Every structure is written in structure tokens, then in C-alpha cells.
Amino acid sequence: MLRTKDLSPLIGSELTIDADTLLTGIHAAEIRELLVKRGVLLIRGLDLSDDQLRTFTATIGKIREGAIKEENGMLKVRHIPGAQFWHIDGAYTDIPPFATVLTSRTLARQGGETEFANTYAAFEDLPPEEQEQLSRLEVLHSMKSAMNNAIPEPTLEQFKSWMGHQGVRPLVWQHRSGRRSLVVGATASYVLGMNSVDSHEMLQRLLNHVTQPKFTYRHHWQLGDVVVWDNTGTMHRARPFDLESGRTMHRFAVEGTEPMTAVPLTRAA
């Protein structure tokens, strides 16, 4: 039995389901559909083991592997530099992860919430003329842009490693479903073909637009919570917390299946 309740009008749903039913995967198609529709799903009090978390993740899609320090696809998240700034995971990769599954293992005494913003809803809220204008633009996304927030004065080695991760993406992602979403956040470096001042102004204005309270959900963690988000239709960030608190989250990511595709030129022209 699966019951759902909206957490806010434009983003987030809480699911009520017992662990045994969840792990059978019989509701997987419904959960995937709801995930894309609502951006973020929360299940309280599940208290899944790491193996159970892996089993649940595999019902959503193919578990993504290959990040540094992972254990069979699972990352023990303590501190990721730059994670406190709004971002889409892997925006500089060709096919970003589809979803992330996160559970709390040790809570911060204070802070450490995770926030999400609905990039579909934010795009759909813009006037039609602006939607079409933005759909013609491309942005360079880079790890350098994201990491510079946390490490403003990197070593040359750090800088060079960041520069290995970058790519040009459309400002507006045309999804296979027909819906469109904004692709902004800390990885966005500049708009191609635009002068620096106008480019920064546009990216900042759009970031502020997407992260308005009406498009966002802030999750206050309790032990045993499982949160899943659609990385292709939301941005996220961790709120600050005391690193000495031992806050630890266990995370699995699901492989993406859709490259960030631009709106066809005939439509955007």
C-alpha cells in the first residue's frame, strides 16, 4: 500500500509505505513517475540498511558507480566542498545522473538540512517570450566554477583537475517528455556569446528566480529518513553544519538516460 501527500504545492511529496513492500519494487514505476512529477520524495522512519538502500535504488534504475571513495556504488557523505551551493549533480557530464537516494546515518546537532528547487516549475513560471529567448542560449558548466565557491584560492593541481570537467549545455533542457527545465546553479560559468557582466547578471537572476520559496523544499533530517530526488528536474544544496558533529549521509545515485538536449532551433527561432 502506497500513500502520498504533497509537502508543498510545487515540489516534494511524502510517501507512506512499509520497507518490505518498497523493496519488492512493485510500486517502482509509480514512484519513478511521481519522482519526475514532484521532484523530491520523502519516506520517513524506514531505517534501511545499506544493502536495503541499494536494493531500493536498483528499483528506480541502474546504480551509478565510479565516483571516488564509493563502496559498491555507495558514498558515505561527510563533507563535499561546494555542496552548500545550489547545483545539479554532474551538470558538466554528458548525461547527468537521473536520481539520488540519500539517507541520514548521523545527524548534525544544528543545520545540515538539504534544500531542493524545482527547475521545471521555475521555467514554466516564466513569460512565454522569455522562455523562448532563454531556449536559444548555451552555458559553459565547469567544476572550476562550482569548486571556486568553496576553495577560492586552489593549488595549481586542484585548478588543473577541475578544468578537466566542463561542458557546454543548453540553458533550457528540452526533456524527452516534452517538458523544459532551467539548467543553472554553481556549475554555470558563463553564457556563450554574451559579455561577462550581462552573463553574470542573467545567471544570478535566474538562480534567484529558481530558488524562490515557492519552488523550494527544505528537508529537516530525522534518523531513518530516505529522500530521493530527480536530479534532472531539481537543484539541491546542503545547509551549513558543524563538521565536528559527525553528520553522515549514505548515498546512491541512479544513472541518467537523457543527455541535456536543447530545444530544436526551429522552435526557439
Closest C-alpha to 234, from 253, 215, 256: 215
Site residues, Fe ion (CB under 5 A) = 89
Our CB check for Fe ion shows the closer of 27 and 78 to be 78
Closest C-alpha to 252, from 16, 44, 66: 66
In whole angstroms, the minimum distance from the beta carbon of 231 to Fe ion comes to 8
Our CB check for Fe ion shows the closer of 75 and 134 to be 75
Cα distance between residue 219 and residue 66, in whole Å: 27
In whole angstroms, the minimum distance from the beta carbon of 173 to Fe ion comes to 17
Cα distance between residue 204 and residue 186, in whole Å: 10
Q: Which three cell numbers stand for residue 72?
A: 559498491
In whole angstroms, the minimum distance from the beta carbon of 44 to Fe ion comes to 22
In whole angstroms, the minimum distance from the beta carbon of 188 to Fe ion comes to 14
Q: How many CB atoms lie within 10 A of CB 25?
A: 14
Our CB check for Fe ion shows the closer of 84 and 189 to be 84
Our CB check for Fe ion shows the closer of 162 and 174 to be 162
Cα distance between residue 116 and residue 75, in whole Å: 20
In whole angstroms, the minimum distance from the beta carbon of 79 to Fe ion comes to 12
Q: How many CB atoms lie within 10 A of CB 187?
A: 29
The residue count of the chain comes to 269
Our CB check for Fe ion shows the closer of 89 and 230 to be 89
